[in-house]
């Protein structure tokens, strides 16, 4: 069994809680230590119980809380060497630092973490497939474009948290400066609702049936639009098997999902 709870999701900060029988971990810690402490408390977990934090990449919306968490709680933090060298400014104590190479699999108690590279404009960005109790959960946000290897990696998951970052028209007509729009639209930026819907459909047809859409842009997306775009695409598939689709909330704590 895996317990899964999205604590925060979006360009303003990301953190996902995952629990197995013997371990509790976070994927990313992109909001303050205080906010994470409160979010965990609301699901009955203390930060001191967290066995490890695994970091997808160095962008602030994934790392904001790390300095204080490391200082106050001494939590082991896992990142690739290249990501660590881009997080020097966070001044995290050596004692808390753990490393893995992108593509490597490592263990935290009874949790097996399989890391895989994703295309994004960071030093060494990774997604993670997390295995425990015979279940597999994959978390992949900040994806510039979808390659077949990503589908292969995510296939077989009992649940997938994937980004659905922006609506193309909203982004293009929105207030962001041109260079930022260009960055988001690029091959190493983020996934549009449209691109995510195609990815989800392929995963659905490969047998995945639980999807959470996350990392929605506050300025360039609407939760209903992301949801509807993906839902329409799944419904247009010839396959008619049951599925669950939801949106990870930006900063209210989602319910804890039990994947059994």
163 binds Zn ion (CB under 5 A): no
Q: Which residue is nearest to Zn ion (CB)?
A: 59
To Zn ion, the closest distance from the beta carbon of 49 in angstroms equals: 25
Q: How far apart are CA 256 and CA 18, in angstroms?
A: 9
Closer to Zn ion by CB, 122 or 230: give it: 122
| Distances from the Cα of 45 to the Cα of 19, 63, 226, 246, angstroms | 10, 20, 30, 23
Query: What is the β-pairing status of strands 52-54 and 24-27?
Result: parallel
Closer to Zn ion by CB, 45 or 161: give it: 161
Closer to Zn ion by CB, 114 or 121: give it: 121
Site string for Zn ion, 126-145 (x = CB under 5 A): ----------------x---
- Residue 117 parent element (H or E): strand 111-117
∠ CA 72-74-143, rounded to 5°:
100
Closer to Zn ion by CB, 118 or 132: give it: 118
Q: Which of 3, 24, 35, 59 binds Zn ion (CB under 5 A)?
A: 59
Q: Which of 28, 61, 233, 254 binds Zn ion (CB under 5 A)?
A: 61
- Alpha helix locations (H) across the chain? 33-42, 60-63, 66-73, 81-85, 148-154, 168-173, 178-185, 193-205, 223-235
To Zn ion, the closest distance from the beta carbon of 61 in angstroms equals: 4
User: Where do contacts with Zn ion occur on this chain (CB under 5 A)?
Assistant: 59, 61, 142
């Amino acid at each position: 069994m895996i317990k899964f709870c999205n604590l925060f999701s979006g360009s303003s900060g990301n953190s996902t809680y995952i629990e197995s029988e013997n371990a509790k971990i976070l994927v990313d810690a992109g909001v303050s230590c205080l906010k994470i402490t409160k979010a965990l408390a609301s699901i009955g977990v203390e930060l001191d119980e967290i066995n490890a934090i695994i970091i997808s990449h160095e962008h602030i919306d994934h790392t904001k809380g790390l300095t204080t968490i490391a200082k106050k709680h001494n939590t082991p933090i896992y990142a690739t060497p290249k990501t660590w060298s881009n997080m020097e400014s966070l001044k995290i104590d050596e004692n808390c630092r753990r490393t893995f190479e992108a593509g490597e699999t490592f263990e935290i108690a009874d949790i097996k973490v399989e890391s895989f590279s994703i295309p994004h404009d960071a030093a060494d960005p990774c997604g993670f497939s997390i295995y425990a109790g015979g279940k597999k959960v994959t978390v992949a946000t900040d994806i510039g474009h979808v390659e077949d290897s990503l589908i292969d990696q995510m296939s077989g998951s009992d649940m997938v948290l994937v980004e659905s970052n922006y609506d193309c028209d909203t982004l293009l007509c929105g207030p962001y400066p041109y260079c930022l729009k260009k960055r988001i639209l690029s091959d190493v930026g983020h996934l549009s609702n449209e691109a995510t819907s195609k990815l989800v459909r392929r995963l659905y047809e490969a047998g995945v049936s639980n999807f959470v859409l996350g990392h929605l842009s506050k300025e360039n997306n609407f939760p209903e639009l992301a949801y509807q775009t993906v839902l329409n695409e799944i419904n247009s598939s010839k396959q008619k098997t049951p599925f669950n689709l939801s949106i990870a909330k930006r900063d209210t704590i989602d319910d804890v999902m039990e994947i059994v």
